[in-house]
Structure 1
Amino acid sequence: MKRRQKLEEMFALQARLNDDTNGPDWRRGVTRQGKVVNWRRCIVMEAAELIDSFSWKHWKSIDGGIDIENIRIELVDIWHFLMSELLRSLSPEEGAELALATMEGSDVKLPQVWRAEENARIDTLLAPYEELMALALQKRDDETHREAMLRTFWRGADAAGLEFDDLYRLYIGKNALNQFRQKHGYKEGRYRKIWRGREDNAVMQEILRESPDIGYEGLMAALERAYIESETA
């Protein structure tokens, strides 16, 4: 499957997830329960969690490191909310076209292993993510701004070594899990997040590792089997 097709699939899945979880008016900024939806604030908060994966605090963790895997997971979460923001005014096909056109690499590369000398360039390492936060906080909604958010996201993903195919795989996994949770009563409090002593997210990631070419429907079926097995254990 080509990048364009994968992007269209991700945007379409995100639109469907938003329809299912928030109701038909989420593009106008409100859920079916009347609660305000602010995708940009979501981006800001996820970016803040990403930044906390760095040892940036001068008053603690002086010899701390970097959680590169969590940075990549936070980028996938940001991608959910960035697509949702774009889908307020674009179709899945238009969103995919714009995302493809804005892909670019980064001169910044995050270290896989943290060394003492990295502390001196922490501002440089954090720049793509703080820039994305700043863009998300701007009260603008035009094509130039949407392009800027996308370009900054792609630079941040490249800096963290998050390849496009890994973004796609992790996104499909988290989207499927989110849909699965809703289907099994997450909002009503009926859903069990721990399956045989493991969190559902860990089960999902294990399925992806064992079957890297699994599609969305195949993953949903695998989650269903694992959930049923955990109920009968």
Structure 2
Amino acid sequence: MLYKDFKESIKTLGFLSIEDFMVYAGVTSNDVLSWEEKNEVPYLVSLILHLLKGEKELLPTNWALDNVIEECLPLASLLEEVSSFPHKLEEMFLLQKKLNDSTNGKNWELGVNKFGKEINWLRCIHMEVAELIESTPWKHWKNINADPDMNNIHVELVDIWHFLMSYILQETNVPKAVSLSNTHCIYEAATEIDVKLMVKEAEKLSYIALAIDTGNMPSFSGIERFIDQFFRCCKISGLSFMWLQKLYIGKNCLNQFRQDNGYKEGHYIKVWNGNEDNVVMVDLLKKMEDVGFDDLYNKLKEEYSKNR
């Protein structure tokens, strides 16, 4: 359908303006400008107009319609997935706040825990980046042909996310944190990993942390840089947002389990029958379709009891 025919059609259908149709169809002004520039309206939009006008003779054959549906299903699935991101972000930020309240006491946002110990989330991020890099064969003198431990790299990214969320919550509130993070979650995780690029981009998280800590970058602009760079690291490392969220629930649950079993006091057992607790947690996650905090906590409790 030509753009001029599109404009005539929306008038005959009772839309007062193109803006009214945009709201109805859920398209943006950039979409419409693109149609005008090309003087062509996408097939699916013209199909909507034909349906609204009741022009059945102009509708496609069943075979053609089946093809359209088949092509649209992946997009619909993606849109449904993306629509859940704000809720998943809110869930993670609330869980992180709850964990920090439990571990560090109320008012931890002031930078001191309930034992009077200083809290430095920026240093935490810096140290976790170092652990991520340790999971790659970065050393020129040792195991130079080794493969990166991608499972552990993903766990380290989740650890960074714990501390980054804590830093964001220290500077703002949950709704604002979700708003700042939401658009950055939409990305396609890499299937082929460039290890050198992954290390280089991870190091930038340390640079941002150091820049803020030394007063060379304002905190608020630093948060925005942090969020953008963090999800870039996830993308390059092949960690999708959905798996990040699943791993986060798992690690958050494990962190609470550690605290409940003497982690702070120093008598928690971190290696369970030859496997670190992180590894046990990930194995449990892979077997769970829907991850619930309480369900996973009980499974961890069961596995831990076998180690005592």
State the TM-score bracket (shorter-chain normalisation): 0.7 to 0.9
Secondary structure of 1:212 counterpart:
coil
User: Counterpart of 2:160?
Assistant: 78
User: Counterpart of 1:161?
Assistant: 238
Contact 1:104 1:154 in 2 (8 A): no
Question: Where does structure 2 lack aligned partners over 5 or more consecutive residues?
Answer: 1-80
The one-letter amino acid paired with 1:158 is K
Measured after TM superposition, the shift of residue 199 of structure 1 is 3.7
User: Counterpart of 2:208?
Assistant: 135
1:116-164 Cα offsets, whole Å, 9 max, x none, are: xx7xxx3x44331121111111134433221111000000000000001
- In the TM superposition, 1:183-222 aligns within 5 A as 183-196=260-273, 198-222=275-299
For the pair 1:21 / 2:103, whether they are aligned, the reply is: yes
d(CA) in 1 for partners of 2:162 and 2:227?
A: 12
Measured after TM superposition, the shift of residue 109 of structure 1 is 5.3
Contact 2:249 2:291 in 1 (8 A): no
Q: For residues 226 and 23 of structure 1, do their structure 2 counterparts lie closer, same or farther at Cα, with a shift above 3 Å needed?
A: same
Q: For residues 201 and 69 of structure 1, do their structure 2 counterparts lie closer, same or farther at Cα, with a shift above 3 Å needed?
A: closer
- In the TM superposition, 1:1-233 aligns within 5 A as 2-103=84-185, 105=187, 111-112=192-193, 122=196, 124-139=197-212, 140-196=217-273, 198-228=275-305, 230-231=307-308
d(CA) in 2 for partners of 1:230 and 1:150?
A: 38
The one-letter amino acid paired with 2:168 is L
Aligned residues: 222
Measured after TM superposition, the shift of residue 216 of structure 1 is 1.3
User: Mean alpha-carbon deviation: is it higher for 48-57 or for 150-159?
Assistant: 48-57
1:89-132 Cα offsets, whole Å, 9 max, x none, are: 222222122111334659x95855x8xxx7xxx3x443311211
Contact 1:103 1:151 in 2 (8 A): no
Q: TM-score, normalised by structure 1?
A: 0.84
d(CA) in 1 for partners of 2:272 and 2:228?
A: 38
d(CA) in 2 for partners of 1:65 and 1:160?
A: 13
Contact 1:43 1:81 in 2 (8 A): yes
Q: TM-score, normalised by structure 2?
A: 0.65
Secondary structure of 1:72 counterpart:
helix
Identity of matched residues, %:
43
Measured after TM superposition, the shift of residue 24 of structure 1 is 1.7
Measured after TM superposition, the shift of residue 224 of structure 1 is 2.8
d(CA) in 2 for partners of 1:65 and 1:196?
A: 25
The one-letter amino acid paired with 2:241 is F
User: Mean alpha-carbon deviation: is it higher for 56-65 or for 66-75?
Assistant: 56-65
Compare relative contact order (CA 8 Å, sep 6+) and give the higher one, 1 or 2: 1
User: Mean alpha-carbon deviation: is it higher for 166-175 or for 181-190?
Assistant: 181-190
Measured after TM superposition, the shift of residue 197 of structure 1 is 5.1
User: Mean alpha-carbon deviation: is it higher for 38-47 or for 62-71?
Assistant: 62-71
The one-letter amino acid paired with 1:134 is Y
1:197-231 Cα offsets, whole Å, 9 max, x none, are: 54433332222121131211221222233334555
Secondary structure of 1:94 counterpart:
helix
d(CA) in 1 for partners of 2:142 and 2:236?
A: 25
d(CA) in 2 for partners of 1:7 and 1:136?
A: 22
